[in-house]
Amino acid sequence: MASRYLPPICLASAGAGWDSSSPGRGGGSLDAEDRSHAGRRNLIGICLALGRESAVELASGGRDRNHDLPRCRVQLLRALRNHVPVRTHQAQPSRWRVLVPERLVVLLALSAVVLATTYLVRWAVRRRVEAVIGGPVAPLLRRQLAKDGPTVVYFYGPHCGTCDEQRRVLNELTIEWGTKVLAFDATEQRALADSLGAVTIPTTAIIDMNGRVRRINVGFHPRSILDRQLVVVGGKATASIS
């Protein structure tokens, strides 16, 4: 009984009529969307055919078995295997792996910009300081210099924690050695700060007794460095330091 209609099922489900690229289905090659719909219809048809075979086999109770049923099932399973994509062990690259090169390029570009900016700023500061070293100070400042040793000119700014640290170091010099320190707010004495190359705060400049600029320290400098600089300039306040 089953042999009379099982072969047509196999032919309809696993034959050429289920090929999504068959000319009979669309008169030629289909686009991606049509192929996707056709593939889904193929899978549904194959699964329905397999279910129908199983129902026929159960209904027959094994009494009317023949060679067409297993052969048809093999054909359907083979067609199903051809339509279902098989996963391989090769994993697709994750999103973060794809984005890593782009993020790395951005990070390297930003680092290059920061390094270039830092180098240019330091170069500009160095050129400005070199232009001031050895030159005379303004007459207004020269009248305030110490007569018997070097003078430290200190530029600070409001709300500057580093300036407070530098001020404490300079106070130690004044208390311990009597070094004269002239402190100016860089925002209020802009012209004077520019004349001594004070492009940032804190900045300290060491002026000798002749009114010439001998040292300019941009940024915070500890007591040990200031002591050595004063020894070189020849201030009596640090004459006992070896």
pLDDT tens for residues 161-176? 999 999 999 999 998 8
Average pLDDT of 83-87?
52
Average pLDDT of 207-219?
91
Given this model, what pLDDT does residue 156 score?
95
Given this model, what pLDDT does residue 79 score?
63
Beta strands at 151-156 and 180-185: parallel, antiparallel or unpaired: parallel
Q: What's the whole-model pTM score?
A: 0.50
Confidence of residue 199 (pLDDT cuts 50, 70, 90): confident
Given this model, what pLDDT does residue 103 score?
77
Q: Which residues of 143-167 are buried (b: 16+ CB within 10 A; e: fewer)?
A: eebbeebbbbbbbbbeeeeebeebb
- Summarised one tens digit per residue, pLDDT across range 20-66 is 444 444 444 446 666 666 666 666 666 666 666 666 565 555 545 44
Confidence of residue 16 (pLDDT cuts 50, 70, 90): very low
Tell me how far apart the terminal alpha carbons of the chain are, to the nearest angstrom.
118
Average pLDDT of 211-233?
91
Residue 94 scores a pLDDT above 90 = no
Given this model, what pLDDT does residue 8 score?
45
